[in-house]
Amino acid sequence: MLLKLWFLITLVLTALLLGTSFAHTLEMPAKLQYDAAQWTWLQHTLYQAFASVGGPIELAAIFSSLVLVFLLRGHRSSFQLALTGAVCLMVAFFGIWIFITNSVNAETARWTIAQPIPPNWVQWRAQWEYSHVARFVLHLLGLMTFTAALLTLNPTRRE
């Protein structure tokens, strides 16, 4: 019963996380058309809940995926799939968000509409937007591999 519950928790948290990165991906074509002032204004106003709500969800999804991997240690096929999913979530956060996305967040937090926006703002925008597409792909792969781990699990047989 614990294993089923932990699968449910991990799948729900990962699905919620996937929703945030999917939303960013869907917004990207329009936002790539915005000028510097409009894009900066969105960065300052639209994404507050993504940090305050999305951040804890992402950390909870990573934690729950690691617990799931531990619980599956005796089920080789499901273990390997869940481990792949956990790695996807960790790379999306510790590799992409911390080192790429957050560096743009820190930079753009200093920009204001009243002051000149740096001339290289288009590179900052591309880094931010495409980092979210990469995170979306990793979140989707994570959800898919957790689902595959559940579907391949035979709780009566340990491998």
Two structure tokens written together for 107: 């930079």
Model confidence at 156, pLDDT cuts 50, 70, 90, reads low
Distance from C-alpha of 108 to C-alpha of 26, rounded to nearest angstrom: 21
- Contact at 8 Å (CB) between 85 and 145? yes
Contacts of 53 (CB under 8 A, 6+ apart): none
Backbone angles phi, psi at 145, to 5 degrees: -75, -35
Predicted confidence (pLDDT) per residue in 1-33, tens digit:
899 999 999 999 999 999 999 999 999 999 999
Half-sphere exposure of 85 (CA within 13 A, CB side): 35
Q: Does residue 154 have a pLDDT over 90?
A: no
pLDDT at 50: 85
What pTM, to 2 d.p., does this model score? Answer: 0.93
